[in-house]
Amino acid sequence: MWDKIISSFVIIVIAFVFKDKLYKWAKFVQYYYKHYVNFFFMIFNSFILMPLFLWNGKHVKNALLMSEVSKYVTKLLNVTWELRNPEIVSEDRGAVIILNHQSSLDLLGLCNFWYAWKKVACVIKKEFIYYFPFGLGLYLMDAIFVDRKNPKDAHRLLQEKSKCRLQENTKILIFPEGRRSSDFTKLLPFKKGAFTIAVGAQVPIIPVVISRYYFINNKKHIFNGGHAIAQCLEPISTEGLTMDDVPDLIDRVHSQMERVFKELSNEVISSLPPDYPLETPN
């Protein structure tokens, strides 16, 4: 009996002395665990849904199946998602949806929002097609793969494939920044691909802004539970615009989205305690 009491006392003393290091180690493990859960569930879901994907053939409706299964991963990560003004993207029409890009967690957000935009073809970098079975799943979801190392061919291919899908009232979903932003205080400059597609097809642009992932601190390897807000902004008409109008269009949309991004980010962090481990700018 006494040996158990002494052992318990020693463990308690050690835990108290090294509590700060144990806390950091636990947060470190949690950080990578949550990132890997997000990634491997996408892989796993692609694998188990593959028979249904193959049965349906190459079609955007496969993405709805993927989203219905994958959105439950959010419970494991203890992240909640809120989509505001979903009726804007629910309308059955061709359009170009653009979102700000922060993290691989964006994919999980898409899965939670798919019920709203329904018929959507995602534009994804070509490298993803080699991530089996996820890449094959994306192909069967009718994703558009682009080779960013070959901009001219990528632009031509994007224009051709987007035109067909827009004519079928399928929306095209693009991250206009082109890559993840490491600066959570602002958006990266937008590339022109999404805007030339919209202007060329004379379809509206629908900006969707996702608030800052304040619950992730990459510098300190922290991934807590949290809440993310995605807000659908009013469609921006491209009717009557030409390619000469694209630079001004990009500036206007970027300015609007960055303003909303800051507003949403301030909203989600406003109720946090003063000592919350927010990541600080470089």
pLDDT digits (tens, 9 = 90+) for 176-217: 988 777 777 789 999 988 999 999 899 999 999 999 999 988
pLDDT of residue 27: 72
Q: How far apart, in whole angstroms, are the C-alpha atoms of residue 252 and residue 230?
A: 19
Of 30-34, 60-64, 118-122, which has the strongest mean pLDDT? Answer: 118-122
What domains sit in the chain, N to C, each tagged with a CATH number? Answer: 2-269 (3.40.1130)
Whether 11 shows a pLDDT value over 50: the answer reads: no
- Of residues 260 and 27, more confidence is placed in 260
- Of residues 30 and 216, more confidence is placed in 216
How large is the average pLDDT for residues 161-184?
83
pLDDT of residue 8: 40
pLDDT of residue 67: 79
For the chain, the average pLDDT equals 82
- Of residues 30 and 120, more confidence is placed in 120
Residue 24 banded pLDDT, cuts 50, 70, 90? low
Rounded to 5°, angle at Cα 257 from 252 and 258: 100
Residue 129 banded pLDDT, cuts 50, 70, 90? confident
Whether 71 shows a pLDDT value over 80: the answer reads: no
Q: What is the pLDDT of residues 12-22, one digit of tens each?
A: 334 334 444 44
Whether 128 shows a pLDDT value over 70: the answer reads: yes
Query: Which of 112, 82, 116, 80 has its CA nearest to residue 97?
Result: 116
Whether 4 shows a pLDDT value over 50: the answer reads: no
- The tokens of 16 are what? 């108290």
Q: How far apart, in whole angstroms, are the C-alpha atoms of residue 27 and residue 22?
A: 9
- The tokens of 248 are what? 């001004």
Of 36-50, 98-112, 117-131, 141-155, which has the strongest mean pLDDT? Answer: 98-112
H/E element, 140: helix 134-140
pLDDT of residue 25: 55
Query: Which of 86, 186, 179, 70 has its CA nearest to residue 62?
Result: 70
Whether 88 shows a pLDDT value over 70: the answer reads: yes
Question: pTM here?
Answer: 0.85
